[in-house]
Structure 1
Amino acid sequence: MVNAELYVRDLPGQLVGSLEPISMVDGNIVGVVHDREQKVNNRILVSVTFEVSTTRELDQLKAIWRSKDIVISKLGSVYETVTAEYMLLGKFGAAYVDDIIDNASKIVDFESVDVSYTSKNSADDSRTALITAELRNHEDRDKLDRFLFKSSERDGLMLIRGLGFD
């Protein structure tokens, strides 16, 4: 999946002319936004997200755009993330969760991690942590599952995995 920001001349037919080459290289358009308010040198911004199968097709597309006087201001890949949620229960401190996340980051690629804690329960010093991670793929999610379950079992904590898994 690719996202491109293009600047096309502000003339009739230029929007279609900038999108048509994607189908010429067997690409599939996922979304398009054009912004007539954002003009640079009498050109308007067209942001398009599309899929192509190979780098060769992308190179062909860039060549077509250049030949049509379409300015490519930004071109980059887009990827979806996989969300994983966990609830950790037991006797632990914030430093424990920080260490777990640091160690997990050595085996998986986190896009982001959010951790929230409850205050300690005065009766038994237990607490709860909610860990929400955005990962690059399902394989990393599975690795994180195994790592967290193994760590929590070793340390006598209860780990509950969220139900939002696919």
Structure 2
Amino acid sequence: MRISLELELKDKPGQLVNALEPISRLGGNIVSVVHIREEIKGERVPVHVIFDVDNHGRLEKILKELEERDVLISKVGEEKKKERISIMLIGHVVDTDLKDTLDRINELGAKVVDLDLEMPHPEKESSAKMNIEISEDIMKKKVFEVIEKIAEEKNLLVIKSLEA
């Protein structure tokens, strides 16, 4: 799971390392650290840390050790991991109600974030490449099942990206 921490560190040398060390040592994989010196609050500097950890038990150990090290934790949040998949639909994509296709994908909780449409001539088949963002709580399998069903209903060919 991906964790977002907002910390407040004492404004003196070594405090950032003091906060990051237990995260790393206890199994956290640090993704991002933003040290916000412009927003000093009293004697403390805000720091935003994002890291991956494999379970809540490890997270609790990390939080406990940070508190023992006099690191103030102002916010703890879990970020949803997102994955992006690409598909291509070939056929009469526009004529078979492109908006309906997009709506049905988005209704699953997935999100079509990019759409490239190639329409050589109104009478000919078109193609649409879609980049779809899926959070980890949405099953990729379900998204593909719905896309396959839409393609079957609308007589479209589906091409999935290799990573899909």
The aligned counterpart of 2:103 is: 102
Counterpart code for 1:162: S
Query: What pairs up with 1:109-128 in 2 under 5 angstroms?
Result: 109-119=109-119, 121-122=121-122, 124-128=123-127
Counterpart code for 2:59: L
Provide Cα deviations, 1:100-157, integer angstroms capped at 9, x if missing partner: 2322344x431553223234614x2532222110112497322222322232123222
Shift of 1:50: 2.7
Counterpart code for 2:14: G
Counterpart code for 2:103: D
Provide Cα deviations, 1:54-112, integer angstroms capped at 9, x if missing partner: 33443343344344442323322234322221222222437722212322344x43155
- TM-score if structure 2 supplies the norm length? 0.76
Overall identity of the aligned pairs, in %: 28
The aligned counterpart of 1:27 is: 27
C-alpha separation in 2, matches of 1:83 and 1:138: 13
C-alpha separation in 2, matches of 1:41 and 1:157: 61
What is the number of equivalent residue pairs in this alignment? Answer: 162
C-alpha separation in 1, matches of 2:5 and 2:93: 46
C-alpha separation in 2, matches of 1:141 and 1:95: 24
The aligned counterpart of 2:42 is: 41
Unaligned stretches of 5+ in structure 2? none
The aligned counterpart of 1:12 is: 13
Question: What's the RMSD between the two structures over aligned residues?
Answer: 3.0
Counterpart code for 1:19: L
- TM-score if structure 1 supplies the norm length? 0.75
Counterpart code for 1:110: A
